[in-house]
Amino acid sequence: MEYIVNPSMRLVTGQFRLAWHRIDDSVLQAEASRGRGAVYVNKKRCEVMAVETLGTLDMLYSPLSGFMARGQQQWMRRMVRDAVIHTAERILPDRLAALEQKHGLKSSGLSITKLRKNVLGQCDSGKHIYLTPMIVIFPTKIMDEIILHEMAHLRQMNHGAKFWALLSTLLGEDAKARDAKLNAFFGAYHPLFHYLMKP
Protein backbone atom coordinates (compact mmCIF):
# COMPACT_ATOMS: atom_id res chain seq x y z
CA MET A 1 0.00 0.00 0.00
CA GLU A 2 1.36 3.40 -0.95
CA TYR A 3 0.26 6.42 1.08
CA ILE A 4 -0.37 9.93 -0.16
CA VAL A 5 0.49 12.77 2.15
CA ASN A 6 -2.36 15.25 1.87
CA PRO A 7 -4.99 16.88 4.12
CA SER A 8 -6.82 13.56 4.53
CA MET A 9 -3.80 12.04 6.35
CA ARG A 10 -4.47 12.27 10.07
CA LEU A 11 -2.02 11.48 12.86
CA VAL A 12 -3.22 12.59 16.29
CA THR A 13 -2.08 10.99 19.56
CA GLY A 14 -1.13 12.17 23.02
CA GLN A 15 2.43 12.71 21.79
CA PHE A 16 2.15 13.84 18.16
CA ARG A 17 -0.26 15.77 15.99
CA LEU A 18 -0.23 16.32 12.23
CA ALA A 19 -2.57 19.22 11.44
CA TRP A 20 -3.56 20.63 8.06
CA HIS A 21 -4.56 24.27 7.59
CA ARG A 22 -6.09 25.55 4.35
CA ILE A 23 -5.38 29.26 4.04
CA ASP A 24 -5.67 31.90 1.35
CA ASP A 25 -2.89 31.65 -1.22
CA SER A 26 -1.72 35.23 -0.65
CA VAL A 27 -1.38 34.50 3.09
CA LEU A 28 0.58 31.30 2.34
CA GLN A 29 2.97 33.15 0.05
CA ALA A 30 3.46 35.92 2.62
CA GLU A 31 4.12 33.41 5.42
CA ALA A 32 6.58 31.53 3.19
CA SER A 33 8.47 34.75 2.43
CA ARG A 34 8.87 35.39 6.16
CA GLY A 35 10.72 32.08 6.58
CA ARG A 36 8.37 30.90 9.31
CA GLY A 37 8.76 27.23 8.36
CA ALA A 38 10.09 24.84 5.75
CA VAL A 39 8.54 25.35 2.32
CA TYR A 40 8.04 23.31 -0.79
CA VAL A 41 8.32 25.59 -3.81
CA ASN A 42 7.15 24.77 -7.32
CA LYS A 43 7.55 27.30 -10.14
CA LYS A 44 8.54 30.07 -7.70
CA ARG A 45 5.45 29.72 -5.51
CA CYS A 46 5.03 27.99 -2.18
CA GLU A 47 2.81 24.92 -2.46
CA VAL A 48 3.04 23.79 1.17
CA MET A 49 4.64 25.10 4.35
CA ALA A 50 5.59 22.84 7.27
CA VAL A 51 5.86 24.42 10.73
CA GLU A 52 7.10 22.12 13.49
CA THR A 53 6.58 22.90 17.16
CA LEU A 54 6.75 20.60 20.19
CA GLY A 55 4.90 17.46 19.12
CA THR A 56 2.98 19.17 16.31
CA LEU A 57 3.52 19.48 12.60
CA ASP A 58 1.31 22.14 11.02
CA MET A 59 1.03 21.87 7.23
CA LEU A 60 -0.23 25.05 5.62
CA TYR A 61 -1.59 24.96 2.07
CA SER A 62 -3.85 26.99 -0.19
CA PRO A 63 -6.73 26.11 -2.52
CA LEU A 64 -4.14 26.30 -5.34
CA SER A 65 -1.85 23.72 -3.76
CA GLY A 66 -1.43 20.40 -5.46
CA PHE A 67 -0.39 17.24 -3.66
CA MET A 68 0.41 14.70 -6.36
CA ALA A 69 3.84 15.78 -7.65
CA ARG A 70 6.42 13.12 -6.79
CA GLY A 71 8.95 15.58 -5.42
CA GLN A 72 6.32 17.24 -3.26
CA GLN A 73 5.15 13.89 -1.89
CA GLN A 74 8.73 12.97 -0.97
CA TRP A 75 9.24 16.34 0.70
CA MET A 76 6.01 16.13 2.74
CA ARG A 77 6.76 12.53 3.77
CA ARG A 78 10.21 13.62 5.00
CA MET A 79 8.64 16.52 6.91
CA VAL A 80 6.25 14.13 8.70
CA ARG A 81 8.99 11.54 9.32
CA ASP A 82 11.42 14.13 10.71
CA ALA A 83 8.76 15.66 12.98
CA VAL A 84 7.91 12.20 14.35
CA ILE A 85 11.62 11.51 14.97
CA HIS A 86 12.09 14.88 16.72
CA THR A 87 9.05 14.16 18.90
CA ALA A 88 10.37 10.70 19.77
CA GLU A 89 13.81 12.09 20.66
CA ARG A 90 12.15 14.59 23.00
CA ILE A 91 9.55 12.31 24.61
CA LEU A 92 10.87 8.75 24.78
CA PRO A 93 13.92 9.26 27.07
CA ASP A 94 11.74 10.94 29.71
CA ARG A 95 8.98 8.35 29.33
CA LEU A 96 11.45 5.48 29.74
CA ALA A 97 12.98 7.15 32.81
CA ALA A 98 9.54 7.62 34.40
CA LEU A 99 8.57 3.99 33.79
CA GLU A 100 11.95 2.78 35.08
CA GLN A 101 11.49 4.76 38.28
CA LYS A 102 7.90 3.58 38.71
CA HIS A 103 8.79 -0.10 38.28
CA GLY A 104 12.26 -0.19 39.85
CA LEU A 105 14.04 -1.28 36.67
CA LYS A 106 17.01 0.42 35.03
CA SER A 107 18.37 0.13 31.51
CA SER A 108 21.93 0.97 30.54
CA GLY A 109 20.70 3.41 27.92
CA LEU A 110 18.23 4.20 25.16
CA SER A 111 18.65 4.55 21.41
CA ILE A 112 15.87 5.84 19.20
CA THR A 113 16.46 4.40 15.77
CA LYS A 114 14.92 2.70 12.79
CA LEU A 115 14.78 -1.02 13.54
CA ARG A 116 14.41 -3.98 11.22
CA LYS A 117 11.04 -4.59 9.58
CA ASN A 118 8.07 -4.89 11.97
CA VAL A 119 10.24 -4.47 15.10
CA LEU A 120 9.12 -1.71 17.46
CA GLY A 121 11.67 -2.21 20.22
CA GLN A 122 14.63 -4.31 21.36
CA CYS A 123 16.65 -4.85 24.49
CA ASP A 124 20.16 -6.26 24.17
CA SER A 125 22.14 -8.36 26.65
CA GLY A 126 23.85 -5.18 27.87
CA LYS A 127 20.41 -3.90 29.00
CA HIS A 128 20.36 -1.22 26.32
CA ILE A 129 16.89 -0.47 24.94
CA TYR A 130 16.23 0.45 21.31
CA LEU A 131 12.91 1.96 20.24
CA THR A 132 11.64 2.94 16.82
CA PRO A 133 10.60 6.60 16.74
CA MET A 134 7.32 5.63 15.13
CA ILE A 135 5.83 4.45 18.42
CA VAL A 136 4.96 8.07 19.25
CA ILE A 137 2.16 7.92 16.68
CA PHE A 138 0.43 5.27 18.84
CA PRO A 139 -1.89 6.12 21.71
CA THR A 140 0.09 6.72 24.92
CA LYS A 141 -1.08 3.46 26.55
CA ILE A 142 0.20 1.40 23.63
CA MET A 143 3.47 3.34 23.44
CA ASP A 144 3.98 2.60 27.16
CA GLU A 145 3.20 -1.09 26.61
CA ILE A 146 5.97 -1.29 24.00
CA ILE A 147 8.42 0.36 26.40
CA LEU A 148 7.34 -1.95 29.25
CA HIS A 149 7.80 -4.99 26.99
CA GLU A 150 11.42 -3.98 26.44
CA MET A 151 11.86 -3.20 30.13
CA ALA A 152 10.72 -6.75 31.00
CA HIS A 153 13.70 -7.94 28.97
CA LEU A 154 15.96 -6.18 31.49
CA ARG A 155 15.23 -9.15 33.78
CA GLN A 156 14.13 -11.85 31.33
CA MET A 157 15.85 -11.84 27.93
CA ASN A 158 13.68 -14.52 26.32
CA HIS A 159 9.91 -14.80 25.88
CA GLY A 160 9.49 -17.64 28.37
CA ALA A 161 6.94 -17.99 31.16
CA LYS A 162 8.92 -15.76 33.57
CA PHE A 163 9.04 -12.99 30.97
CA TRP A 164 5.25 -13.07 30.44
CA ALA A 165 4.63 -13.15 34.20
CA LEU A 166 6.88 -10.11 34.71
CA LEU A 167 5.29 -8.23 31.81
CA SER A 168 1.82 -9.03 33.19
CA THR A 169 2.90 -7.48 36.50
CA LEU A 170 4.27 -4.38 34.75
CA LEU A 171 1.12 -3.98 32.63
CA GLY A 172 -1.34 -4.84 35.38
CA GLU A 173 -3.12 -7.30 33.06
CA ASP A 174 -2.54 -10.59 31.25
CA ALA A 175 0.37 -9.78 28.92
CA LYS A 176 -0.13 -12.73 26.56
CA ALA A 177 -3.79 -11.87 25.99
CA ARG A 178 -2.89 -8.22 25.52
CA ASP A 179 -0.07 -9.14 23.10
CA ALA A 180 -2.49 -11.02 20.84
CA LYS A 181 -4.78 -7.96 20.66
CA LEU A 182 -1.87 -5.62 19.98
CA ASN A 183 -0.51 -7.72 17.12
CA ALA A 184 -3.71 -7.09 15.15
CA PHE A 185 -3.49 -3.39 15.98
CA PHE A 186 0.16 -3.14 14.91
CA GLY A 187 -0.51 -4.89 11.60
CA ALA A 188 -2.48 -1.88 10.41
CA TYR A 189 0.40 0.50 11.25
CA HIS A 190 3.40 -1.36 9.84
CA PRO A 191 2.85 -0.23 6.20
CA LEU A 192 2.64 3.39 7.41
CA PHE A 193 5.90 2.98 9.40
CA HIS A 194 7.72 1.63 6.37
CA TYR A 195 6.39 4.40 4.15
CA LEU A 196 7.34 7.20 6.56
CA MET A 197 10.77 5.79 7.43
CA LYS A 198 11.99 5.50 3.84
CA PRO A 199 15.22 7.49 3.28
Ranges of each domain in the chain:
11-85, 91-196
Model pLDDT for residues 152-194, shown as the tens digit of each residue: 999 999 999 999 999 999 999 999 888 888 888 888 788 888 8
**pLDDT interval class at 7 (50, 70, 90):** very high
pTM: 0.91
Q: Who has greater pLDDT, 128 or 11?
A: 128
Supply the mean pLDDT for the chain. 92
Q: From CA 149, how far away is CA 175, in angstroms rounded?
A: 9
* H-only helix segments in 104-139: none
Cβ–Cβ < 8 Å for 194, 3: no
Q: Which pLDDT does position 182 carry in this prediction?
A: 86
- CATH node for 91-196: 3.30.2010.10
Q: Which pLDDT does position 183 carry in this prediction?
A: 82
Average pLDDT score over residue span 83-95? 96
Q: Look at residue 100 and tell me whether its pLDDT is greater than 90.
A: yes
Q: Look at residue 1 and tell me whether its pLDDT is greater than 60.
A: no
Cβ–Cβ < 8 Å for 106, 37: no
Q: Look at residue 27 and tell me whether its pLDDT is greater than 60.
A: yes
Q: From CA 21, how far away is CA 136, in angstroms rounded?
A: 22
**pLDDT interval class at 195 (50, 70, 90):** confident
Average pLDDT score over residue span 64-71? 90
